[in-house]
Amino acid sequence: MGRPAPIPLLLLLTLLANAAAKPSPSSFTPADNYLINCGSPDSTTLLDDGRTFKSDPQSSSYLSTDEDILASLPNISSPSLYATARIFHHLSMYRFLIAKPGLHWIRLHFYPLPHPTYNLTSATFTVTTDDTVLLHGFSAATPKPTIKEYLINATSDKLTLKFSPMKNSVAFVNAIELVSSPDDLIPDNAAAVSPPGEFSGVNKHSLEVSYRLNVGGPIVTPKNDTLSRTWLPSDAYLAFPEGARNVSVPTDTITYPKGGATPLTAPYSVYATADQMADSSTADPNFNLTWKMSVDPSFSYLIRLHFCDIVSKGLNELYFNVYINGISGAANLDLSALTSGLAIPYYKDFVLNASAITNGSVVVQVGPTSNVISALPNAILNGLEVMKMSNSAGSLDGLFSADGKKHGQSSAMRVAAGVGLALGALVSLLLLFASIRWCRKPRGYEKQKTFSSWLLPLNSSQCSFMSSKSKSTTFSTISGGLNQLGRFFSLNELKEATKNFDEKSVVGVGGFGKVYLGEIDGGATKLAIKRGNPSSAQGINEFQTEIQLLSKLRHRHLVSLIGYCDEQSEMILVYEYMSNGPLRDHLYGSSELPPLTWRQRLEVCIGAAKGLHYLHTGSTQGIIHRDVKTTNILLDENLLAKVSDFGLSKVGPSSLDQTHVSTAVKGSFGYLDPEYFRRQQLTEKSDVYSFGVVLFEVLCARAALDPALPREQVNLAEWAKQQHARGATEKIVDPVIAGTIGKDSLIKYVETAEKCLAEYGVDRPPMGNVLWNLEYALQLQGVAEGGGGDGGEKKTGGSGEGEMVVGMMSDDSGVVGASPVFLESCHAR
């Protein structure tokens, strides 16, 4: 076989010339590159990042205005885009010639400089392009630079940027960037989150950059980004930062794939850093790393997630799930399989519909996959971009289109607005009537027992102007609420009871304020006195919740509300005092207390389960506690368990066709239901999960989370389940009681606790079933002790039958609820 024919010299030179002319993937030369330092007296301004901005006098062909109003800061030594500004008293425009239609960046810089005539901090104006509203009624009131960044599709050879002051105001701008973007930076298709599927037509929308985060790394400035973007650190948006750990590798470790992400997608420094699960959480496959960002809920959003596996040692070690606002975006994601290697960048785009945005936030979560066996549960994220998508009016700020017409308001909405105005007028009249009544109140009125609005908020059925109830009916409803709250304490009484709220009397502190131990009746009666902090929004909310709930609840295993005080704007609630304190102190929180026996622990759990079961079933809608933990289970002098602290509680679904309550995630780390954490959908099964953690805490006498332990033992729930699966349950039992537990009792107890910790709420038992199984575990313990079903040891917790009641009735009334669970429990005995 002969030698291959030589390549002709001309062809070789052509190939070399083409190779030299072709830009590298990490470089980009924009066809359009307008950088304007508005109002600058210098013809050019060279920034530290290497970019050169021109002034508008030199670029006057762009500017269409009959005004020349400037603002400036004197004595600025270093080049800056915020040393000058151009002010517009009337509609003014910048017109740009577009060399290459397509995607373009628009960055607007605002900083309200001082001016002898115009107050720029109060300037209000609108900014539009030919067909897109960028800002409507915008005001740059903050005394720091503001950058608004957009990605728009220029479809012709001209682009106009209009600044329109609102009436009796001005507009201004410090700097403008209009720069071509790579055509393939934003693909036209993305994964739709809700409803799931494929979203086509992304490029029909203009985009506003809401967030661009370098997850796990420092700020990336325009100098280090080919497209002059800024990537901010993500720490400020990370929920539960103790569950995350930064990881980084040298940038030369990163290898971009062919036909995928490029340095234009995100720079090396973004893919070389990440957040992964910290040692305190890597053993928990139900935990997710979570970033929460506030957004305008009336718009849809394009969300781009950047990934690069810089944590694995080999292929197919890392599997994790992605959730957007609690909805699965990707399951069992294996980056090494998608990129055929490690340290290779990958990104994925999602479109989140406005209807799926709850609580005004975009929530991005990554968490380990539980159904795939890997080295250790883990999940990572390297970068995150959230971009607002223009609406049907072509606006990124409101319902007005670029031609000034308002879109999206139907006749029905106009009727609703009219009704709203009418109701508003009616409310104003009622407030006027109330103020007249207040001015004519009888002498001594202020000395009567009153209850401030924070203490007893009315619902719609209690408002006379929203129903056919008379005024007298309304006031009788309020009086009824007061009666249910029990005794009125004067402020002087409570000061005397607590020695003028002496700090030595403090027995607890929370978001609401402090809890004091008080004594009345000559020291014969002890009280827990919760004094709210009026400046704490959390405290006020928790007080309202406790009042609304505890005024309606009476049960042997719920801490009782005795009375209140609202004198002199105080927010004080008075409860029965639980002398033996929280359950946790009897497990591992205090060396001074004797350890509880196994029987005592079972009875305490049964009592707490009865209290929770009553919360879930004792009213029409049911109540979800939302913060079940061992510090919220209190013990009286007889070790009778009572559930306390209802400040985070929520009323359950309002109808049978509803399965959950959508709400922001609140609770205590280590006890949170993972499904609630992911989806922000609260159910009674969320309490069941938390109670499952409590059950293992009682068995093992250790904290739900303990970072000081080896990594696989940090999370109690996961460690206990792993040990049980290995047949090593006895190894996790508290050594103090290890030799006293009957085998069958332990099996039934652990089986019950494990069912409570099922990953999905539908697989967890209701609290009634949990209660029945705990009662059964107690009977089995009695058999093991040789004393029959009731055991051979006197009960100390007092968890007798017949305590479940319906509605408002106290369990002390002797009425026995006809729940099959309880009847079965009674017959078993």
Q: Which two tokens stand for residue 509?
A: 């502190």
For this structure, is 627 an active site residue? yes
**Binding positions:** 530
Q: pLDDT value at position 147?
A: 96
Domain ranges of the chain: 33-180, 189-389, 449-577, 590-828
pLDDT digits (tens, 9 = 90+) for 799-813: 443 333 333 333 433
pLDDT confidence of 653, banded at 50, 70, 90? low
Q: pLDDT value at position 537?
A: 52
Q: pLDDT value at position 84?
A: 95
β-sheet bridge partners, residue 564: 488, 573
pLDDT digits (tens, 9 = 90+) for 530-583: 887 765 555 566 666 666 666 667 789 998 888 888 787 788 888 889 989 899
Dihedral, 559, 560, 562, 567 alpha carbons, nearest 10: 60
* Class of domain 590-828 as given by CATH: mainly alpha
CATH topology of domain 449-577: Phosphorylase Kinase; domain 1 (3.30.200)
Q: pLDDT value at position 171?
A: 97
User: Residue 797: helix, strand or coil by DSSP?
Assistant: coil
Distance, CA of 215 to CA of 274 (rounded, Å): 5
For helices 743-756 and 684-700, give the axis angle rounded to 10 degrees.
140
Q: pLDDT value at position 430?
A: 56
Residues 6+ apart with CB under 8 A from 522: none
β-sheet bridge partners, residue 387: 209, 302
Which strands, in side-by-side order, build the sheet including 273-277? 244-248, 273-277, 380-381
Q: Which two tokens stand for residue 576?
A: 């029965």
Does residue 767 contact residue 694 with C-beta atoms inside 8 Å? no
Does residue 642 contact residue 633 with C-beta atoms inside 8 Å? yes
Q: Which two tokens stand for residue 550?
A: 């505890």
pLDDT confidence of 819, banded at 50, 70, 90? very low
- Given a cut of 90, whether residue 711 has pLDDT beyond it is no
Q: pLDDT value at position 382?
A: 98
- Given a cut of 50, whether residue 22 has pLDDT beyond it is no
Q: pLDDT value at position 432?
A: 52
Does residue 84 contact residue 174 with C-beta atoms inside 8 Å? yes
- Given a cut of 60, whether residue 35 has pLDDT beyond it is yes
Q: pLDDT value at position 7?
A: 39
Same topology between domain 33-180 and domain 189-389: yes
pLDDT confidence of 823, banded at 50, 70, 90? very low
Q: 376 or 685: whose pLDDT is higher? A: 685
pLDDT confidence of 150, banded at 50, 70, 90? very high
Q: Which two tokens stand for residue 462?
A: 């209690």
Lowest pLDDT segment from 133-137, 432-436, 523-527: 432-436
Distance, CA of 345 to CA of 262 (rounded, Å): 8
Average pLDDT over all residues of the chain:
80
Does residue 628 contact residue 690 with C-beta atoms inside 8 Å? yes
- Given a cut of 90, whether residue 633 has pLDDT beyond it is yes
- Given a cut of 60, whether residue 827 has pLDDT beyond it is no
DSSP 432-458: HHHHHHHHTPPTTGGGS----TTTS--
- Given a cut of 50, whether residue 729 has pLDDT beyond it is yes
Q: pLDDT value at position 478?
A: 28
- Given a cut of 50, whether residue 362 has pLDDT beyond it is yes
pLDDT confidence of 825, banded at 50, 70, 90? very low
Between the alpha carbon of residue 644 and those of residues 360, 418, 475, 576, the distances in Å are: 31, 45, 30, 11
Is the domain spanning 189-389 CATH 3.50.50.60? The answer is no
β-sheet bridge partners, residue 330: 322
Q: Of residues 32, 627, 734, 811, which has the active-site annotation?
A: 627
pLDDT confidence of 284, banded at 50, 70, 90? low
Q: Which two tokens stand for residue 49?
A: 């990042």
**Binding positions for ATP:** 530
pLDDT confidence of 5, banded at 50, 70, 90? very low
416: phi then psi, degrees, rounded to nearest 5: -60, -40
155, 171, 175, 152: which is closest to 163 by C-alpha?
A: 171
% of the chain beyond a pLDDT of 90? 52
| Average confidence (pLDDT) over 23-45 | 85
Q: pLDDT value at position 26?
A: 63
pLDDT digits (tens, 9 = 90+) for 657-685: 444 444 556 668 789 888 887 777 788 99
- Per CATH, the homologous superfamily of domain 33-180 is Galactose-binding lectin (2.60.120.430)
User: Residue 90: helix, strand or coil by DSSP?
Assistant: coil
Indicate whether this model's pTM tops 0.85. Answer: no
